[in-house]
Amino acid sequence: MEFWWVVAGLAALLVVGLAALAVYDVLQRRHAILRNYPVVGHLRFTLEAFGPELRQYIVTSNDEERPFSRDERRWIYTSAYDRDNTFGFGTDNHVDTTPDYIVIKQAAFPVAPLPGEPARPSWDFPVPCGKVLGAAHGRAGAFRPRSIVNVSAMSFGSLSGAAVEALNRGAAAAGCWQNTGEGGLSAHHRHGADLVFQIGTGYFGCRDERGDFSLERLLRTIEGAPVRALEIKLSQGAKPGLGGLLPAAKVTPEIAGMRGIPVGVDCRSPNRHRAFGDVDGLIEFVEQLAAATGLPVGIKSAVGEEQFWWELAARMRATGGGPDFVNVDGGEGGTGAAPLVFSDHVSLPFLRGFPRVYRAFASEDLHHDVVFAGAGRLGMANRGLTAMALGCDLVNVAREAMLAIGCIQSQRCHTGRCPTGVATQSRRLERGLHPDLKYVRCANYLSTLRHELLRLARACGQEHPGAVQPDQVEFLQEGHRSLTAAEVADYPPGWGTPSDADLAALRDEWPEPSVPGGR
**Containing domain of residue 300, as a range?**
149-509
Rounded Cα distance, 121 and 455, in Å: 10
Rounded (10°) CA dihedral 152, 331, 404, 373: -40
Residue at 517 is within a domain: no
Q: What is the pLDDT of residues 460-490, one digit of tens each?
A: 999 999 999 999 999 998 888 999 999 999 9
Helices (H), 329-481: 340-345, 350-363, 381-389, 399-404, 427-430, 435-459
CATH of the domain at 372: 3.20.20.70
Q: Is the dihedral of CA 225, 230, 231, 232 positive or negative?
A: positive
Residue at 83 is within a domain: no
Bridge partners (DSSP) listed for residue 198: 231
Q: For residues 36 and 511, which has the higher predicted lDDT (pLDDT)?
A: 36
pLDDT given for residue 515 in this prediction: 41
Residue at 516 is within a domain: no
Count how many residues are written for the chain. 519
Instruction: Decide: 113 and 458 in contact? Cβ < 8 Å.
Output: yes
Residue at 242 is within a domain: yes
Cβ atoms within 10 Å of 383's Cβ, excluding its own: 20
158 and 30 housed in the same domain = no
pLDDT at 290 over 80: yes
Q: What is the mean pLDDT of the chain?
A: 88
- The residue ranges of DSSP E strands in 292-367, in sequence order, are 297-302, 325-329
166 and 275 housed in the same domain = yes
160 and 50 housed in the same domain = no
Residue type, 416: G
164 and 273 housed in the same domain = yes
Do β-strands 101-104 and 325-329 pair in parallel, antiparallel, or remain unpaired? Answer: unpaired
Q: What is the pLDDT of residues 401-438, one digit of tens each?
A: 999 999 888 888 878 788 888 988 888 888 888 999 99
Total domains in the fold of the chain = 2
Burial classification of residue 277, based on how many CB atoms lie within 10 Å of its CB (0-12 exposed, 13-18 middle, 19 or more buried): exposed
Q: What is the pLDDT of residues 41-77, one digit of tens each?
A: 777 777 666 665 555 455 666 666 678 888 888 999 9
pLDDT given for residue 244 in this prediction: 72
Residue at 187 is within a domain: yes
Percent of the chain clearing pLDDT 90 (strictly above): 57
**If we measure between CA atoms, which residue out of 161, 153, 162 comes closest to residue 180?**
153
Instruction: Decide: 421 and 429 in contact? Cβ < 8 Å.
Output: yes
| Rounded to 5°, angle at Cα 242 from 237 and 247 | 95
